[in-house]
Structure 1
């Protein structure tokens, strides 16, 4: 009987050991599953957080650069920025009204949609800028410039159109008096279509050569400087929205020129364009 009892004890002990091993294994598997589930949960939370941030960023309205009104800047006498002749409903500005800056009662608005990558826009400025400045200095017109980014595809992935328009917004936000000098500088170094565009450093050099202080803080965001605004593309969404607004308004190409809201194709002949403008003001009856 003792012998049989000893055998039973061994079997019982073996069963107990097996149960313990099984219990330990089950515990390990449970722990592993818990770690796995927690890990999956952490990943899901992280993904949801990233998605939430992206959705929030996408849903935020585009920040408007100071001194831009209705997607553009309006230039009057002595190349000073002024309010549009007709302020959009709901918008306000500290810029002077055109009449306060010398615009005549029957002054016309010449609207120019432009892309800094566009050779035709460069040619338009070379042909017409002196004439437009003369008419603005005489108080006959204000010129509403609206940069867009239609030609991003022409800079080998560099998105030069967007980035150049962003630079203009960054600079004009705090230094409106530099607007036309900056436009001239951007056209003077316009990259070839199909090329590599310009780097941020090169764009900032262009701005500095136009006497823009790239260390100056933005008027619309005191935590940003012109330099950081360029590197972080602070007004990228604004440029995208402005470009879409232009398309929605029927703009088909650049340069696209309106005289008191009516499209004109007389953009390659300064005399012919001046005649069209002065007809709109009533100063020319021919």
Structure 2
């Protein structure tokens, strides 16, 4: 056998070995990639399951007030053609200030049948009270709405807003405020004491977050954010929307 034949065989053997090595690396890379994907899928499923479990726990026993509108997230005042959405937390000082400044204008717009105001009581400030007052007060407002007195109770809650960082109003005070606006039946008091609508308040808050609401007050006129929240700015936005 000639030296040339030996060199050709050696070269062919080396080519085959290189091809086999490349194939082994390809298989290792493929299985590694599949393993990473599987880990990510499993982690995603675990994370989704955990989040779903938390959501289920938060909204377990959900009772939605029969008078709630907008997918059960709000209470309507007025029947006019221009829609105003107001997202508020009853512990929020800026919400109280907005209501104090805009209430007369809102009342006038409702009386003139220009607007329908959708109030969304949300609870994003529970961490600023020791008793989850934002959730409890939102739930109490739902009980008031069920009793036909949302607008009145909404107003009296802001008039008696507790300071941030404390315990907030206790249930007895929330019930007392209800009585002051005509909620004298046992149904309202029981709903406050039993926390009937607390899971609903959490659901409304989650829905608001999914809509991009991350601060209070958030005011939308005809679906557009109201940047000028003065009475004049509100009236101008309503007139523009209705034109």
Q: Give the structure 1 partner of residue 232 of structure 2.
A: 271
Shift in Å, 1:61: 6.2
Shift in Å, 1:164: 0.4
Provide the secondary structure at the position in 1 that maps to 2:189: helix
Counterpart-to-counterpart distance in 2, 1:250 and 1:280 = 21
Counterpart-to-counterpart distance in 1, 2:158 and 2:56 = 36
1:260 is the counterpart of 2:201: no
Which of 1 and 2 has greater Rg?
Answer: 1
1:116 is the counterpart of 2:90: yes
Q: Is the 8 A contact 2:60 2:199 kept in 1?
A: no
CA-atom RMSD in angstroms: 1.9
Q: Give the structure 2 partner of residue 219 of structure 1.
A: none
Distance 1:279 1:65, change over 3 A: same
How many residue pairs get matched?
188
Q: Is the 8 A contact 2:83 2:222 kept in 1?
A: yes
Counterpart-to-counterpart distance in 2, 1:244 and 1:109 = 21
Shift in Å, 1:62: 2.1
Q: Is the 8 A contact 1:214 1:226 kept in 2?
A: yes
- Name the structure where helix makes up a greater proportion of residues: 2
After superposition, the C-alpha distances for 1:92-122 in whole angstroms (9 at most, x for unaligned) are: xxxxxx3xxxx3xxx2101100110011111
Q: Name the structure, 1 or 2, with higher relative contact order (CA <8 Å, separation 6+).
A: 2
Shift in Å, 1:147: 0.3
Counterpart-to-counterpart distance in 1, 2:205 and 2:196 = 16
Task: In structure 1, list runs of 5 or more residues that go unmatched.
Answer: 1-54, 77-97, 216-224
Task: In structure 2, list runs of 5 or more residues that go unmatched.
Answer: 1-54
Q: Give the structure 2 partner of residue 68 of structure 1.
A: 68
Q: Give the structure 2 partner of residue 168 of structure 1.
A: 141
Shift in Å, 1:195: 1.7
Give the TM-score of the pair, scaled to structure 2: 0.73
Counterpart-to-counterpart distance in 1, 2:185 and 2:142 = 12
Shift in Å, 1:57: 6.8
Counterpart-to-counterpart distance in 1, 2:215 and 2:226 = 13
Give the TM-score of the pair, scaled to structure 1: 0.62
Q: Give the structure 1 partner of residue 106 of structure 2.
A: 132
Q: Is the 8 A contact 1:66 1:172 kept in 2?
A: no
Provide the secondary structure at the position in 1 that maps to 2:191: helix
